[in-house]
Amino acid sequence: MQYLISVIDDGQAQVADSDESASSAEMTATDLFNEQLQLEGHWVFAGGLGRPLAATVIDNRGEVPMISDGPFLESKEFLAGFWIIEAADLDVALRIARDASKACNRKLEVRPFLQG
């Protein structure tokens, strides 16, 4: 089964006034973690996201499309990146997420990744 592990930035990027909130040590630890995921066969895909200020929200449910600059939801915490992993079950996904949280030094959210 696949799981989405969401990386929650709680303001590090805004404090640093940067698109990249991770320190070089955190990036190195995350790179090593990613290599381990690949070696163990859990790796599917991962990526980082730009700051919320770079977002554009589009709502085309009505008569006229609404397009607005900025994030959908303004908050100190935001989605900064993610992994999609392959794991036998939730217990394995949670073990992987614990290691990921340590590597990237961020809170994470784990959810089943549903495929259509």
pLDDT at residue 12 greater than cutoff 80: no
Distance from chain centroid for Cα 21: 12
**Structural domains in the chain?**
2-112 (3.30.70.1060)
Average pLDDT, the chain: 90
Tell if the pTM clears 0.85, that is, is over it. Answer: yes
User: Each residue of 31-63: pLDDT tens digit?
Assistant: 999 999 999 999 999 999 988 888 999 999 999
pLDDT at residue 19 greater than cutoff 70: no
* 39 Cβ contact partners less than 8 Å away, ≥ 6 residues apart: none
pLDDT at 15: 56
* Arithmetic mean of pLDDT, 21-25: 81
pLDDT at 17: 54
pLDDT at 11: 75
User: Each residue of 64-112: pLDDT tens digit?
Assistant: 999 999 877 778 889 999 999 999 999 999 999 999 999 999 999 999 9
